[in-house]
Amino acid sequence: MRSIKTPMKAERLTTLRILYDYKTGVFRMEALKQWEPDLDFSKYNKEFYVESILTDDVKYYNTKEVEALFEKYNLADYLEDIKNLLIEGRHFGIEAYYHEGYDILYMSNQHSRKLGINNKWHATLAGGIRRHDKNEEEIDVIIDGLNLGRGMSFKNVAGRINMGGCKQTVTMDPIDLNNLQHVGFLGFCIDSCRTMTGPDMNFPTELADAENEHFSMQYTNGPKYSVLGETGVPTAYGVYKTLKQAVNYKEGTESLAGKTATVVGLGAVGWYMAEYLLEEVDKLYIADLNPARAEQFKSEHEGNIACIPLEGAYYNECDILSPCAIGGVFSDETIPKLNCKYIWGSSNNGLKASGAEEEIRLAELLKARDIVYQVEWWHNTAGVICGFQEYIYGKSATQEKLYETIDSTMPKSTYMNLKQADELGITPTENAYRLADEIIYGDKTLEDINW
């Protein structure tokens, strides 16, 4: 089995770190036995803490010993594959925790810590937490987590947030929030990684409430304890407001009157994006993996709404295509089939690419077709801003402050990006990467950009 669990399970190890310094090209790896198998994580932050001594039978493997460990279990090539992914994306690394008894593999896919250094909070990294099924190929989970972690670094630049970027991926069965051993283990992991997070795909938002009540304050935006609520509404609002700026830059007006729009995916963000668009456009097309979801939206709203099949929805003829479901949709094969003027949605990693260079190349294909597009992390940032404000302000956070921040930062950033890209003769995607790279990999700070 091509999995980091194989050597960890065989050697009774709990922790694995594969860290990379892109400036020097040096890897540092370590594997540990950090706790005993019978440790009860329902007692986390009550009877023991992250810093507690959890076993007197510690095991430790250094970089060369980790390499030998993977070699021992015929996984040396797999380790090289993981290392190459870190090199390609200039990632800080992967911090993994495995609990054999619970059969839970937690991976913190960490891209950059730069913006979070000396921010005076426990968490130096920010990024959502999502669950993957046990039957998924682990390398695909790692690729997904690394790509999303890299996107979070750039989102935090666009949102002007002093946090590094990461993504938590957890391979486990659907979580039972009454199982405090499992919930406690996830709390221990997030605290160990110095990360703040919010529940993402395949985790209920109530996970944040369970963590806040029993274990960790590094989870935000649960429905019970959050003063700002779930992030879907502000995320959709931010995408909508920046879309209006894209139209303004292209056509000289923010109005969407007279236009048609297609929303693909009516989940936590897409539902609200469809509502915002419905207020202005002449006709709204909607599609979802579950057709009943689209029918429900139509039955609950007035207006010119048409439910269309998910198959072919991305190629529907319209002015605005708003992808709010899975990513990896726009490729060499699909871009020639598009029938829209704007692509503007909330889907992460919309371009089917494994790195920035490939994304920029695909963005150039969209530009050649006169389709207005910028990489989604430049405008899909309101949810991150929401989680960040709850994290730093706690009960003092307000909806008024949240939407004031969104309105004062995001539309301006999009207009600036489109304008600069035109002036430089490049795509908005390339310009967004240029600006973010100067901060994440260069010497500039957030204050150095003329927003």
| pLDDT at 349 exceeding the cut of 90 | no
Mean pLDDT of 318-323: 98
How many domains, the chain? 2
Same domain for 242 and 157, yes or no, is no
| pLDDT band (50, 70, 90) for residue 351 | very high
Same domain for 277 and 137, yes or no, is no
Half-sphere exposure of 226 (CA within 13 A, CB side): 26
| pLDDT at 167 exceeding the cut of 90 | yes
Same domain for 270 and 338, yes or no, is yes
Return the minimum-mean-pLDDT range out of 14-18, 238-242, 337-341, 349-353.
Answer: 349-353
243-273 per-residue burial string, b: 16 or more CB within 10 A, e: under 16: bbbbbbbeeeeeebeebbbbbbbbbbbbbbb
- CATH number, domain with residue 265: 3.40.50.720
How does pLDDT run across 90-143, given as a tens digit for each residue?
Answer: 999 999 999 999 999 999 999 999 999 989 999 999 999 999 999 999 999 999
Answer yes or no: is 401 within a domain: no
Same domain for 333 and 188, yes or no, is no
Strand ranges across the sheet with 260-264:
305-307, 283-287, 260-264, 320-323, 342-343
Identify the domain containing residue 364 by its residue range.
232-380+412-440
Mean pLDDT of 75-85: 97
Q: Domain ends where: 214, 247, 275?
A: 214
- Distance between CA 150 and CA 320 in Å, rounded? 27
| pLDDT at 227 exceeding the cut of 90 | no
Q: Model pTM greater than 0.75?
A: yes
Q: Domain ends where: 151, 180, 214?
A: 214
Answer yes or no: is 223 within a domain: no
How does pLDDT run across 355-406, given as a tens digit for each residue?
Answer: 789 999 999 999 999 999 999 999 999 999 999 999 999 889 999 999 999 9
Q: Domain ends where: 214, 240, 259?
A: 214
Answer yes or no: is 206 within a domain: yes
Q: Are 159 and 173 in contact (CB under 8 A)?
A: no
pLDDT at residue 436, rounded to an integer: 94
| pLDDT at 35 exceeding the cut of 90 | yes
pLDDT at residue 299, rounded to an integer: 97
- CATH number, domain with residue 24: 3.40.50.10860
Answer yes or no: is 447 within a domain: no
Mean pLDDT of 417-440: 96
How does pLDDT run across 249-259, given as a tens digit for each residue?
Answer: 999 999 999 99
Same domain for 194 and 252, yes or no, is no
pLDDT at residue 356, rounded to an integer: 86
Distance of CA 444 to CAs 379, 388, 425, 449, Å?
21, 22, 23, 8
- Residue 136: how many CB atoms within 10 A of its CB? 12
Same domain for 201 and 247, yes or no, is no
Same domain for 181 and 245, yes or no, is no
Same domain for 432 and 290, yes or no, is yes
Same domain for 296 and 425, yes or no, is yes
| pLDDT at 354 exceeding the cut of 80 | no
